[in-house]
Amino acid sequence: MNFQGSVIKYGDNVDTDVIIPARYLNTIDKKELASHCMEDLDKTFVARVKAGDIMVGGENFGCGSSREHAPIAIKESGISLVIAKNFARIFYRNAINIGLAILECPEAAEEICEGDELYVDADQGIIENKTTGKSWKTAPFPAFIQNIITGGGLIAGINDGKI
Amino acid sequence: MAMTMTQKILAAHAGVDHLEAGELTMVNLDMVLGNDITSPVAIREYEKLGNGPVFDKKKVAMVMDHFAPNKDIKAAEQCKMCRTFCNERGVENFYDTGKMGVEHALLPEKGLVTAGDVVIGADSHTCTYGALGAFSTGVGSTDMACGMATGKAWFKVPAALRFNLVGQLNPPVSGKDVILHIIGMIGVSGALYRSMEFGGEGMHTLSVSDRLCMANMAIEAGAKNGIFEVDDKTLAFLKEVGAKEPKIYAADPDAVYEKVYTIDLSAIKPTVSFPHLPENTHTVDEIEKIAIDQVVIGSCTNGRLEDLAVAAKILAGKKVAENVRCIVIPATQKIYLEAMELGYLKTFVEAGAAVSTPTCGPCLGGHMGILAKGERAVATTNRNFVGRMGHPESEVYLASPAVAAASAICGYIADPREV
């Protein structure tokens, strides 16, 4: 699993209420959810995000509500991967379950800047910053988790007999 | 090797003698819960999974509480989707308008959770039932779907933080002040991935209502679950609500905790969390006058009868300040009825407060009390994130029912000891 994209960066404690405000939870339509992604934190996100972009956050990314609508909105917006110092536990689980790639790497999340171009080899856990030339190594996911993510989520994985 | 309370409950449900922190395990579930905003996503996934019968009609619960009574057409469609799903499969614990309550107040009241249970819910505040000695945690909709289909869920066994409670609270200080104090002390990721285990002599002085409030907010410290030791008060509560036979698990004396904190309940003061994180705590006696526009008393955190009793006592014979909207939301139909019989609702209405049917409503900015740009609320709810109760430039201050009621009278954040 490889990713290449430019960075959209946020800070610590990005909560699921700002990822997708509750006032939009009266729908489960993925595109509609994505059209409001990050709205209360960054009104420019939806207009500027490009398919393949990589979101970088600080500590406790995805804290708060268990709403799976949050990783769904991020994934549907075109974000290919989220890198953070660490993730809140329900978001972590939900991201894997719906097939949104995530990686924990505190050093990379600290040093990467908005707009940097990254190349990420998730199988090896290698993050390369092509803008600055710096790279980091982090623990890759075990194969069964990677299978869930690449297969499009837990349910698809179960149905395909991969899990 | 010694185990914590959480580890013992997970081991028993995994059918093994022993589990250690960090191990992955598959456990049997005693209850799978969802609400009107998380269940529709779960149902969509469930349909992809073969769409068969649920694993146990008695062990699935769906509560229409977040945007119910239906706030708009889309919310109505979501509730309809849940209703149809439950009717078609004979799910016994489906709670709709007129019978429902805020889910985490409702399930304990209905006796649907007992000590020793493993409960997952597609709602982050599912950790509430730890107050009753259960392992209980929030998950997403996909986990809920798999749980409904198989009756199982996988977990990474958590390490634990231990909170030894000593002393006794000085009223009007409550469980809410204790948990806000703890979150202020350890931070919103202070218990990330871990269980928060509460015990000690002081624990026995806390009411079950205070414990439910504290376990409810374990997630606000990032915890996987919060759990209290089981004592006579727990057992009396479970008996009163008709819960099934409890199974009592106690931590081994030499169980390993990453950290042990001692919390002197007698030293806790009324505490308020400032925007926009629950960890931004201040004691009410150290803050300037902060003018407010709205007060919300309710939610899964503080909408129980004991909470309304505290608020009613403070508001009795008084008036809500001229420029303040005070909204009181009993958390369940039973609480609503009891509050009516005890005269609390009359007290609230006479004081100039609005009383609502049970709903999560304003807590998550759904309906029934949304804030405009620049407005400020004191709420007995659990989160004060940006935009949580309405406009992204509004503010929520988290507090106990006593502080909220006192603030409603004063028009600014007030110390209940001075009203």
- The predicted-structure confidence for A12-43, as pLDDT tens digits, reads as follows 999 999 999 999 999 999 999 999 999 999 99
Q: Taking CB atoms and an 8 Å cutoff, what residues of chain A touch B71? A: 26
Mean pLDDT, chain A, as a whole number? 95
Q: Contact B141/A90, CB-based, under 8 Å?
A: no
Q: What band does A140 get if pLDDT is binned at 50, 70 and 90? A: confident
Res A163: pLDDT: 64
Q: Taking CB atoms and an 8 Å cutoff, what residues of chain B touch A40? A: 386-387, 392
Res B293: pLDDT: 98
Q: Contact B142/A98, CB-based, under 8 Å?
A: yes
Q: What band does A76 get if pLDDT is binned at 50, 70 and 90? A: very high
E strands of A18-162, at which residues? 54-57, 81-84, 101-104, 117-121, 126-129, 135-137
Environment class of residue B99 by beta-carbon count within 10 Å: exposed (0-12), middle (13-18) or buried (19+)? middle
Closest CA to B142 of A24, A122, A148, A13: A148
Residue of A17, A33, A60, A85 best to disrupt the B interface, most CBs of B under 10 A: A17
User: Nearest chain B Cα to A89, which residue?
Assistant: B193
**Higher-confidence position of A142 and A42:** A42
Kindly report the nearest CA distance between residue B262 and chain A, in angstroms. 25
Res B185: pLDDT: 98
The three-state DSSP-derived secondary structure of chain B is: CCCCHHHHHHHHHHCCCCCCCCCEEEEECCEEEEECCCHHHHHHHHHHCCCCCCCCCCCEEEECCCCCCCCCHHHHHHHHHHHHHHHHHCCCEEECCCCCECHHHHHHHCCCCCCCCEEEECCHHHHHHHHHCCEEEECCHHHHHHHHHHCEEEEECCCEEEEEEECCCCCCCCHHHHHHHHHHHHCCCCCCCCEEEEECHHHHHCCHHHHHHHHHHHHHHCCCEEEECCCHHHHHHHHHHCCCCCCCCCCCCCCCCCEEEEEEHHHCCCEEECCCCCCCEEEHHHCCCCECCEEEECHHHHCCHHHHHHHHHHHCCCCCCCCCEEEECCCEHHHHHHHHHCCHHHHHHHHCCEECCCCCHHHHCCCCCCECCCCEEEECCCCCCCCCCECCCCEEEECCHHHHHHHHHHCECCCHHHC
Q: Which residues contact A77 (CB under 8 A, 6 or more apart)?
A: A34, A37, A38, A45, A46, A49
Q: Which of B143, B386, B387 sits opposite A93 (nearest CB)?
A: B143
- Please enumerate residues of A whose Cβ is less than 8 A from a Cβ of B: 13, 15, 17-18, 21-23, 25-28, 39-41, 59-60, 63-69, 72, 86, 88-90, 93-94, 97-98, 153-156, 158-159
- The predicted-structure confidence for B206-226, as pLDDT tens digits, reads as follows 999 999 999 999 999 999 999
Strand ranges across the sheet with B31-35: B93-95, B60-63, B31-35, B118-121, B135-138
Q: What does residue B390 show for φ and ψ, rounded to 5 degrees?
A: 150, -130
Q: Which one-letter amino acid corresponds to residue A138?
A: T
- Dihedral sign from CA coordinates of B167, B168, B172, B174: positive
Question: For A45-59, what is the mean pLDDT?
Answer: 98
**Higher-confidence position of A142 and B240:** B240
**Higher-confidence position of B269 and A1:** B269
Res A158: pLDDT: 81
- C-alpha B191: how far from chain center: 17
Q: Which of A13, A21, A67 sits opposite B188 (nearest CB)?
A: A13
Kindly report the nearest CA distance between residue B409 and chain A, in angstroms. 29
pLDDT at A162 over 80: no
Q: Contact A17/B78, CB-based, under 8 Å?
A: no
Cα B20 to Cα B25, B160, B247: the distances in Å are: 10, 11, 21
pLDDT at A161 over 80: no
Q: Contact A64/B383, CB-based, under 8 Å?
A: yes
Q: What band does A150 get if pLDDT is binned at 50, 70 and 90? A: confident
Residue pair B401/B308 in contact by the 8 Å Cβ criterion: yes
Q: How crowded is residue B236: how many other Cβ atoms within 10 Å of its Cβ? A: 11
Closest CA to B392 of B373, B368, B365: B373
The pair of structure tokens assigned to B127 is 């950790």
Kindly report the nearest CA distance between residue B119 and chain A, in angstroms. 15
Which domains does chain A possess?
2-159 (3.20.19.10)
Distance separating alpha carbons of residues A35 and A46, to the nearest angstrom: 6
Q: Contact B193/A89, CB-based, under 8 Å?
A: yes
Distance separating alpha carbons of residues B44 and B312, to the nearest angstrom: 43
Q: Contact A155/B49, CB-based, under 8 Å?
A: yes
- Dihedral sign from CA coordinates of B49, B50, B55, B58: positive
- The predicted-structure confidence for B86-132, as pLDDT tens digits, reads as follows 999 999 999 999 999 999 999 999 999 999 999 999 999 999 999 99
pLDDT along chain B (419 residues), means of 10: 96 97 94 98 95 96 98 98 98 98 98 98 98 98 97 95 98 98 98 98 98 98 98 98 98 98 98 98 97 98 98 98 98 98 98 98 98 98 98 98 98 96
Kindly report the nearest CA distance between residue A148 and chain B, in angstroms. 12
